[in-house]
Chains A and B, each alone.
Chain A
Amino acid sequence: MSAISRSREKWVLLFPAILVLSLITVLPFLQTVWTSFTDAEITAREQQVNWIGLENYIWALTDPDFLEALGRTMYFTAVSVGLEGVLGIAVALLLNQKFRGRWFLRVIIILPWAVPTIVNAVAWRLIYHPDYGALNSLLLQLGFIDSYTSWLGDPDRALNMVILADVWKNFPLVAYIALAAMQTIPGDLLKAAAIEGAGAWKRFRSITLPWIIGPMLVVLILRTIEAFRVFDIIYVMTRGGPSDGTKTASFYVYQEYFSYLRSGSGASYAVVVAGISAVLILAYYAGIRRDQRGA
């Protein structure tokens, strides 16, 4: 096929996809960037929109509440992704052993992943319920606590409880990918190491971990990108409360838009969030490159 018709055809094939993505994501994003330099508000009446330069950004970056929300988001992201990583690898190590009933465990591990995010949030909210929750009842009956506790009622504890719910839903993905990577380790390699006298921990450190580190890095960065924009589970479990104890960046921007109707300043918060996400996304591609070179 000639070079010209081939390249024209390429754009014909790509056109619908480019059109859809431009209209639904790229152009709105550029609009958000533009709005972030104005004092626009969400209102039904005609309004004068003024260009106010960096004012929104100065405001955003000196707003202690927003910075706290960012910090909270990073805490949420770091702890939940960290736990998912450790738990995921541990589960993969377990599922890579031979034992009776392994197939069953391998099958059911996918269930938390299949539970819709909102159902997950609702289920854990019920489990954490201060008056009738399963967690309270269980811990009381086992003698760990003396009286029922309001798990989501304490600003310092609520975020950690949300993290537990998030980890429960997302560790299967990490575990499956770790397991898939482990299954490509040549058995002879581990046997040879065992014959050389390397213990289980030594084998894990010097063979298994280096072997799976590439794919793990990529999936964990992907999880980081997802965790950083956390919204739904917060919305259902705590609505950002109590006393903003679980108010993450996405939720903060959401409120700035839809509760306080300040689109200009909301947009500047959104752009800051986008900037941080962009760094993570670039890290993801760097991770993929590294992984491919390694492979």
Chain B
Amino acid sequence: MHRSLIASFALYSAALLLTLFTLAPLVWLVLMSISSPNDLTSVPLNWWPTEVDLSRYGHLVDLNNGAGHRFLAALRNSLLTAGGATLIALIVAVPAAYAFSRRGASLALLFVFLATIMMPPITYVLPLYEIFGGLGALNKTTTLIIVYSAMLLPFATWLMKSNIDVLPVEIEQAAFMEGASTAFTLRRVVLPLALPAIAATCMLSFLVAWDEFFYALIFTSDLSAKTLPVAIADFSAGRVTDYGVIASVGVLATLPPAILAICFQRFIVSGLAAGSVKG
């Protein structure tokens, strides 16, 4: 079918508009992070930096700088928390997913699992706060890891289940026939076959944990456990006069998920679609 000139014009205009809408806030965030404070406080704004100023990034990766110290501590905490929670969630989710997929565990139970993450966290955060407070476990990375793994677990189970569902069941049957136990079959046969699914699940879980703010806000109070989202909220709420610093922290916190999202787009989109739509 050939498009008329008007239709083409409308199409490309819409595409351009969408590109601007999508990219403008991000481009502006990056520009802010490399503009001089003067450019950022002129009225109206100096859109293009008079000179590129990378000093903020330098400060942020410098342990001896105040902001850098806070940023790097938060980065470490975020990596540990998101990484640890992803690991635990996967270790717990894979056997559960296998039970749902191959051992006839009731799907109603899986829906209960999923309902726990759909409930607003505000509905159960206070008892958790009091329990962890009583155990002296507040403001600890380990505590966040445990809470996050519960948060990641239902989705990870769900994703792994739909991926195990499509593995050929005869291969597992062959393993049982050869005398293998379920644990042996899981480790030696199912896991290697499900490796791409595990990678996708890990990535999505990591991104969710990386993004989490609410629990981190309530359960952490200083640099020993605060994660990046909380640190960024602090930065922006504090008396920082240079907005470029806030922007550069934002850029750094966005880089890992943005790179993952671009590189593994197919994985992520299909994972999201499976997680949100398929029943």
Contacts and interface: CB of A to CB of B under 8 A. Distances in A.
Interface of A: 1, 6-7, 9-14, 16-17, 20-21, 23-29, 31-32, 35, 42, 91, 94, 97, 99, 101-102, 105, 107-119, 122-127, 129, 131-132, 134, 136-137, 140-141, 148, 168, 173, 176-177, 180, 194, 215, 218-219, 222, 225, 228-229, 231-232, 235-236, 249-250, 253-254, 257-258, 263, 266-267, 270-271, 273-274, 277-278, 280-281, 284-285, 288-289, 291-292
B236 interface: yes
Interface in B14-61: 14-15, 18-19, 21-23, 25-26, 28-29, 32, 40-41, 43-45, 47
A112 B111 CA distance: 29
Given A14-B96, A20-B92, A114-B257, A122 B250 contact: yes
Contacts of B40: 132
B120 A273 contact: yes
B261 interface: yes
Interface string B246-279: 1100100110011011100100110011001101
A123 B109 CA distance: 40
A14 B182 CA distance: 13
B233 A118 contact: yes
Contacts of B113: 17, 21
A114 B260 contact: yes
Contact of B246 (A31, A109, A122, A257): A122
Contacts of B93: 17
Contacts of B247: 123, 126
Interface residues of B, number: 94
A231 B214 contact: yes
B96 A99 contact: no
A243 B22 CA distance: 31
A281 B115 contact: yes
B273 A6 contact: no
Given A177-B276, A232-B213, A29 B124 contact: yes
Contact of B45 (A107, A134, A232): A134
A111 B258 contact: yes
A116 B217 contact: no
B253 A119 contact: yes
Contacts, number: 271
B153 interface: yes
Interface in B91-106: 91-93, 95-96, 98-99, 103-105
Interface string B113-124: 101111111111
17 contacts: A7-B103, A10-B103, A20-B146, A25-B119, A102-B15, A111-B261, A117-B211, A229-B122, A231-B213, A231-B214, A250-B122, A257-B125, A266-B126, A274-B123, A277-B119, A277-B120, A291-B277
Interface in B200-253: 207, 210-211, 213-214, 217-218, 228-229, 232-233, 235-237, 243, 246-247, 250, 253
A98 to B, nearest CB: 9
A17 B176 CA distance: 24
A168 B232 contact: no
A14 B25 contact: no
Contacts of A108: 19, 22-23
Given A29-B123, A219-B277, A284-B118, 4 more contacts: A13-B103, A26-B116, A110-B262, A235-B217
Contact of A126 (B32, B123, B154, B277): B32
A10 B253 contact: no
B147 interface: yes
A229 B254 contact: no
Contacts of B122: 229, 231, 250, 253-254, 270, 273
Given A124-B25, A134-B28, A113 B261 contact: yes
B233 A236 contact: yes
B137 to A, nearest CB: 13
Nearest to A288: B279
A108 B232 CA distance: 24
Nearest to B40: A132
A31 B277 CA distance: 32
A175 to B, nearest CB: 9
Nearest to B105: A10
Contact of B92 (A17, A111, A225, A270): A17
B45 A219 contact: no
Interface in B114-160: 115-128, 130-131, 146-147, 149-151, 153-154, 157
| Residue from A91, A177, A232 whose CB has the most chain B CB atoms within 10 Å | A232
| Residue from B41, B217, B228, B236 whose CB has the most chain A CB atoms within 10 Å | B236
B269 A218 contact: no
A218 B276 contact: yes
A99 B127 contact: no
Nearest to B109: A14
B157 A176 contact: no
B118 to A, nearest CB: 5
B103 A6 contact: yes
